[in-house]
Structure 1
Amino acid sequence: MPRRVNPQRPRRYGRLGWVVDLLDRWRVAARGAGAADTAELTRTGADLLARWGEPHRHHHDTRHLTAVLDVVDAYAPAAGRPDLVRLAAWCHDAVYDPRAGGDANERDSAALAGTLLARAGLPADAVAEVRRLVLLTAGHAVDPGDADGSLLCDADLAILAAPPETYDRYAAAIRREYAHVPEPAFRAGRARVLAGLLALPALFRLPPLARRWESPARANLTRELAALSLP
């Protein structure tokens, strides 16, 4: 049985220990997916960590990466190729520009994944699969039977099911990432995002996560959406 996971409870380390742990997790996943354990593999992981640590990130940072990886690790038996899901987790927000439109960040992250993973020596079919998985996080619409896509998207959306006070900190962090957007435009855009999530047939696909997280996630989304309409 998978262990229970708090949807947004990053591990507690000193900064250096956290970085070392994440780099170790990167190397283990990449080796498991077929990459050679070379200096290039470490450089690639360090490049990704630097991206996740960019100063304009307030939610899409190493804490989010860690939280996603923790869910993937906990439910890895549900996936067909869990190491590829882990690598997709590493790459899915590797490019994050709040000023970009549409799915540009996901497309650019998928392209970067292709470059970095090929450089690290990953087989071509594995690179293509990681790119596919990263692109799924643009809309979180996953085909039935896509176990790897389900695990990645469920892990990415886990914060939605956090306790209300944690969810509110997440929503505030998103607002800080979009500080350049005037309040009326932000409210309208954020409302479209929330409505789109609520319109999904299911936010979570893996049965144990759906049972635990679907209801609190929809409650959080509905509550934030209602608050956006207040004066």
Structure 2
Amino acid sequence: MLTLERWSALWSCLGARTHGDTIFQEVIQAYAEPHRHYHTLAHLQDCLQIFDTTSARAKQPAVVEAALWFHDAIYDTHSSENEARSASWAYEALRTAGAAEALCQHVADLVLMTQHEARPAGADACLIVDIDLSILGRAPVVFDAYERQIREEYAWVPTSTFRQRRVAILEAFLARPTIYSTPDFQQDYEEQARQNLARSIARLQA
């Protein structure tokens, strides 16, 4: 799944002509950093597996796939600029490799959408956001493991502070009219996501 062959095919499809092998190794190494527990190569692979079954919903599938590869490439729990830095890396890597400026900007814009601060607009943005949020609607055992992994990534945050901030994040998702933006994801994940979020909030507040 996370193969150089797949990456090289994507790189070529995007019109990028150089540095593909080097960037691939750098991205793989980034997701393998030891401080990561959820935002790992396993998360990236999971996102790409879902993408492979939903890519027909995208207007520009290759752009969405590129954004998925880069969306958590920079991950520092002490920083609030991870998505911005990941987007910048994606833009600069593709532009340097010869991809068109508009395409590079589209990839960067999609990476920024995974901040989950604004509701996505357009097929590509809706798809990448729904893929990234799919973990919220997984089986309880999978979701609970995700919550534990997030806590491990923020082990440096005091328990009371972490609980308060985590509840605020989860409640914000729960307060949305819909967590997911596309009908397929709403059908497959929405109900379970709401159950998972409510259960996690109750546990954090106990």
Tell me which interval the TM-score lies in, with the shorter structure as reference length: over 0.9
- In the TM superposition, 1:193-208 aligns within 5 A as 193-208=169-184
Match of 2:58 in 1: 79
Check the 8 A contact 1:140/1:153 in 2, yes or no.
no
The residue type equivalent to 1:127 in the other structure is: C
Match for residue 5 of structure 1?
none
| CA distance, structure 2, for counterparts of residue 124 and residue 167 of structure 1 | 38
What percentage of residue pairs aligned between the two structures are identical? 36
Give CA deviations for 1:161-205 in whole Å, capped at 9, x if unaligned: 111011111100000000000100100111111111112222212
Q: Runs ≥4 in structure 1, deviation > 3 angstroms?
A: 140-144
Mapped partners of 1:54, 1:98: distance in 2: 12
Equivalent in the alignment of 2:87 = 110
Letter in 2 for 1:48: V
Distance 1:165 1:86, change over 3 A: same
Whole-angstrom CA distance in 2 between matches of 1:79 and 1:142: 17
Q: Matches of 2:96 and 2:202 in 1, distance apart?
A: 46
**Structure 2 length as normaliser, TM-score?**
0.95
Alpha-carbon shift at residue 31 of structure 1 (Å): 1.6
Structure 1: any 5+ residue segments left out of the alignment? 1-17
Name the SS for the 1:48 alignment partner.
helix
TM-score calculated relative to the size of structure 1: 0.85
Is 1:148 the equivalent of 2:129? no
When the two chains are superposed, the root-mean-square deviation of aligned CA atoms in Å is: 1.3
Deviation at 1:128, TM superposition (A): 0.3
Task: Tell me the distance in 2 between the aligned counterparts of 1:28 and 1:218.
Answer: 37
* Structure 2 partner of 1:11: none
Partners of 2:161 and 2:57 in 1: CA distance:
40
1:183 aligns with 2:159: yes
Hey, what's the Cα distance between the residues in 1 that align with 2:104 and 2:183? 28
The one of 174, 178, 199 equivalent to 2:150 is: 174
Contact 1:106–1:137, Cα closer than 8 Å, also in 2 = yes
Query: SS at 2:180's partner residue?
Result: coil
Q: Report SS of the residue matched to 1:117.
A: helix
Q: Which of 22, 28, 32 is the aligned partner of 2:3?
A: 22
In 2: Cα distance, 1:140 partner to 1:41 partner: 31
**Offset of 1:54 from its aligned partner?**
0.5
* Paired position in structure 1 for 2:13: 32
How far did residue 159 of structure 1 move?
A: 0.9
